[in-house]
Amino acid sequence: MLKIGKRFSMGAGALAAAVMAASPSYAQTGADFFKGKTVTYIVSTSPGGGYDLYGRLISEYMQKHLPGSTFIVKNVPGAGHLIGTNTIYASKADGLTIGTFNTGLIYNQLIGAEGVKFDLTKMSWIGKAASEPRVFVIGAQSPIKTFAELQAQKEPVNFATSGIGSSNYVEINSLTNVLKLPVKVLTGYNGNDDQLAMRRGEVTGGMGSRSSFEQFVKNGYGRFIAQIGGKEKDIPQLKDLVKDPSALSIVALIQSQGDIARLTAGPPDIPKDRLAALQDAYRKALEDKELQDKAANLERPVDPAYGDDVLKMIQAALNQKPEIVANLKSALEKKEAPPPATKGTISEWDGRAKLTLKLADGKTFDAGISGSRTEVTIGGQKSARENIKVGMTCEVAAPSSGAEATAIACN
């Protein structure tokens, strides 16, 4: 209780303010809000792969530096990170839902792509964890050893990407458009599915962040043939291998995306004090030596930026010339041939995500089954994946064994 002596007096308003400041119920700061609360950190892709790794690492150390909080990671994959990002954007602006997604969504917003229900400039920006140079990677089984040899191929070679709208999908299609690369882009390879497909020889190559493919190449499963951005000198820079001005403009845009990799943001209008607490925990997490050592052991770069500095990078990336936007639009609107259907009997099914078909010739075919992206029909009727059973005869539409199916029809 405040005591006011003869030599100390204050007005009624000042007294009320002092009482509020002294009372625990009014002294709650942004950091205090998170005590006893659970923060959901959304990763806009399937478990496994770089986004999931960074998301879990960052969540672990944000929890450490936001006392009393609990962080849980929730994977919300689909549509090239669109579903997860839309989920983050539409979440309640209380600071309890944040997450990560890829920079390919900058391209989606630039062209006003269907399914974009967010404005990146309005999100509550917490930070970015890394700078990620992009690389072209070729599987070890392929004879292609240089970018010039890729350009010289007489027949198209298959490149694996995740979903339409993801950064690797947009970037490889944009470069294919301007450089006339003999590349056929296949989707449905989430997490490290693209690496597994290269090892099986089902696809020739792919494109993505260097850190995601570093160990793959070191293990002898593939080779780098070109890089965009970064300080490494062991791989030719793509900007030095091409002369076309339009191609160089696309390369420059892709490099700008690599500079703002592994983003973390929340929905618009998180209260300033709570956002400041999240930004402070994020900064302390990324500057924590334990996190940095873990990232180094995993060969993952840490090159952070925070808050408004990231917002400025996003705004700059969204400021593009009309001809660049037109190229991106062409890349995103490129139509794919439907994947081939493979018929067989289900010999293995985990009841959730992975099944194996036994084919008539005795070989097997693996496929991923998504609850949101794979169309399931049983006996000619639309159904749920939970109704799939071992022993059913099915046709699976997937680009190759091990990839995610776009559809499965069973009897």
Coil/strand/helix, residue 20: helix
**How far apart are the C-alpha atoms of 276 and 269, rounded to whole Å?**
12
Please give the order of strands across the beta sheet that includes 205-209. 183-186, 157-160, 205-209, 134-139, 222-228
Q: Is the dihedral of CA 100, 101, 107, 112 positive or negative?
A: negative
Report how far apart the first and last C-alpha atoms of the chain are (Å, whole number). Answer: 76
Which residue ranges form the domains of the chain, and what is each CATH number?
30-130+259-321 (3.40.190.150), 134-257 (3.40.190.10), 341-410 (2.40.50)
Residue 293's CB is within 10 A of a number of other CB atoms, namely 11
Task: Give the pLDDT score at 335.
Answer: 52
pLDDT for the residue 330: 81
pLDDT of res. 336:
56
pLDDT of residue 28: 62
| φ and ψ at residue 134, rounded to 5 degrees | -90, 150
Contact 316, 257 (CB under 8 A): no
Other C-beta atoms lying within 10 Å of the C-beta of residue 369: 22
Digit-by-digit pLDDT tens for the chain (411 residues) are: 333 344 434 454 444 444 444 444 444 689 999 999 999 999 999 888 889 999 999 999 999 999 999 999 999 988 879 999 999 999 999 999 999 998 889 988 998 888 899 999 999 999 999 988 999 999 999 999 999 999 999 999 999 988 776 778 888 988 998 899 999 998 878 778 899 999 999 899 999 989 889 999 999 999 999 999 988 899 999 999 998 888 898 998 898 888 898 999 999 999 999 999 999 999 999 999 999 999 999 989 999 999 999 999 999 889 888 888 888 888 766 555 567 789 999 999 999 889 999 999 999 999 989 877 788 999 999 999 999 999 999 999 987 788 888 899 999
The label of the residue with tokens 């030095």 reads: 240
Question: Are 277 and 266 contacting, i.e. CB atoms less than 8 angstroms apart?
Answer: no
Q: Can you tell me the distance from the alpha carbon of 199 to that of 206, in angstroms, rounded to the nearest whole number?
A: 12
DSSP 115: T
pLDDT for 245 equals 87
Cβ proximity of 123 and 265 under 8 Å? yes
Would you state the pLDDT for residue 34? 98
Q: What three-state secondary structure class fits 180? A: coil
* Owner of token pair 């792969």: 49
Confirm if 41 and 71 have CB atoms less than 8 A apart.
Answer: yes
What pLDDT, on the 0 to 100 scale, is given for residue 338?
65
pLDDT at 113: 84
